[in-house]
């Protein structure tokens, strides 16, 4: 039996699974496919420039310096930039205390959400997807936002973390004017013990996230010569089911301005198991204009943690739907994917 399995897998080849990709392009059908998380830096994701070095300014003056490096004195836009910042860059939230953060939803949302900006060289005409007006001097730029509406896995909401903070605030004397040095030492040790007992959130913790990005083409890298070319909006959410299951949902809307086209896709994943082992079931449905023929993929799989930093993941599935002759063929064997990654495949 083991010999037959070895031959079987060698015929399939090894395909590494994507680690929760949010928006991928299906080369066979030119479809935008959703994942189960929203992009960390939407502006770079829409540009396909996620390898850009990211600058994260901590103040308004640093943000201004970053912007000055992106837009030259002559009004030209420089490619290869990546900037991410939050409202804390402008001082918002820096005076909030832990109690306010924990009990006010809007404070957590503002603290965890971020804005982004990025630039990348435009695709030259000879490459796939280039246009007749594109040249090597053209630059694409994008602005984006990532908004955290609800995040159950936020470590600052951990009961043990809260206990440690409350203990330190209520029991320990002011370090700047200690009445009893030994009491300070004892309190710090007790607080440390509280912190060290912190446990990671459950593997099926819930959350709701949205993101959006708008990109444009700057002809000859000049800021006054721009046209919008793409708008993408992502949404994702995960919801715990008791302690052994999770439902994850994802959606992406993509609008191309020239030529005008729209795509909308949805995904769902049901996971059952534990921290280190779980089975998965996936379904993705895409509706693409102009044919508006729903189509999609389904798959079943598993996730197994083999070391502290490595996961074995495997999926098997097939396509369905679409215009006549483009889907619905049962091809389970050719749809098998397996490999190792640093994260579970969701």
- What is the per-residue pLDDT across 202-231, written as a single tens digit (0 to 9) for each? 888 899 999 999 998 888 777 777 788 899
Work out the mean pLDDT of the chain and round it to a whole number.
76
Which of 116-120, 198-202, 317-321 has the least mean pLDDT? 198-202
Return the higher-pLDDT residue of 248 and 174. Answer: 248
Decide: helix, strand or coil at residue 192.
Answer: helix
Q: Is the peptide bond before 244 cis (omega within 30 degrees of 0)?
A: no
Q: Strands of 260-273's sheet, edge to edge? A: 82-85, 114-121, 139-151, 207-218, 226-241, 245-257, 260-273, 277-288, 295-307, 310-321, 337-341
In this prediction, residue 133 carries a pLDDT of 47
Residues with Cβ within 8 Å of 305's Cβ and at least 6 positions away in sequence, in order, are: 275, 276, 277, 311, 312, 344
Instruction: Dump the DSSP string for 139-188.
Output: EEEEEEEEEEEEETT-GGG-HHHHHHHHHHHHHSPPTTS-S-HHHHHHHH
| pLDDT for residue 18 is more than 80 | no
Confidence category of residue 76, pLDDT binned at 50, 70, 90 = confident
Handedness of CA 287, 256, 150, 204 (dihedral sign): positive
Rounded (10°) CA dihedral 6, 12, 13, 15: -120
Name the helix (H) or strand (E) containing 318: strand 310-321
| 3-state DSSP percent of the chain in helix, strand and coil, to 5 | 25, 40, 35
Enter the DSSP assignment of 333: G
- Give this prediction's pTM: 0.74
């Amino acid at each position: 039996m083991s010999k037959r399995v070895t031959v079987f897998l060698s015929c399939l080849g090894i395909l590494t699974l994507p680690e929760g990709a949010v928006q991928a392009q299906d080369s066979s059908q030119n479809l935008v496919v959703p994942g189960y998380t929203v992009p960390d830096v939407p502006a770079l994701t829409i540009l396909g420039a996620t390898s850009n070095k990211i600058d994260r300014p901590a103040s308004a003056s640093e943000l201004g310096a970053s912007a000055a490096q992106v837009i030259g004195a002559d009004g030209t836009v420089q490619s290869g930039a990546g900037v991410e910042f939050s409202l804390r860059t402008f001082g918002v939230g820096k005076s909030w205390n832990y109690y306010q953060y924990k009990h006010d939803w809007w404070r957590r949302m503002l603290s965890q959400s971020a804005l982004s900006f990025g630039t990348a060289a435009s695709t030259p005409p000879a490459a796939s997807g280039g246009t007749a007006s594109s040249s090597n001097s053209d630059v694409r730029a994008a602005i984006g936002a990532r908004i955290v509406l609800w995040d159950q896995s936020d470590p600052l909401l951990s009961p043990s973390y809260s206990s440690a903070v409350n203990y330190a605030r209520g029991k320990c004397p002011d370090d700047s004017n200690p009445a009893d040095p030994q009491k300070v030492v004892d309190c710090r040790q007790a607080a440390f013990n509280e912190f060290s007992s912190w446990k990671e959130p459950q593997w099926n913790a819930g959350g709701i996230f949205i993101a959006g990005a708008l990109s444009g083409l700057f002809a000859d890298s000049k800021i006054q010569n721009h046209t919008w070319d793409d708008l993408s909006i992502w949404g994702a959410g995960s919801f715990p089911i008791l302690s052994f299951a999770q439902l994850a949902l994802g959606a992406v809307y993509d609008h191309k301005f020239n030529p005008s086209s729209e795509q909308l896709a949805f995904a769902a994943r049901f996971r059952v198991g534990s921290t280190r082992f779980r089975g998965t079931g996936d379904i993705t449905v895409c509706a693409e204009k102009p044919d508006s023929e729903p189509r999609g993929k389904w798959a079943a799989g598993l996730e197994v943690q083999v070391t502290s930093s490595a996961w074995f993941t495997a999926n098997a599935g097939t396509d369905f739907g679409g215009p006549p002759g483009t889907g619905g063929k049962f091809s389970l064997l050719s749809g098998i994917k397996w490999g190792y990654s640093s994260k579970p495949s969701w």
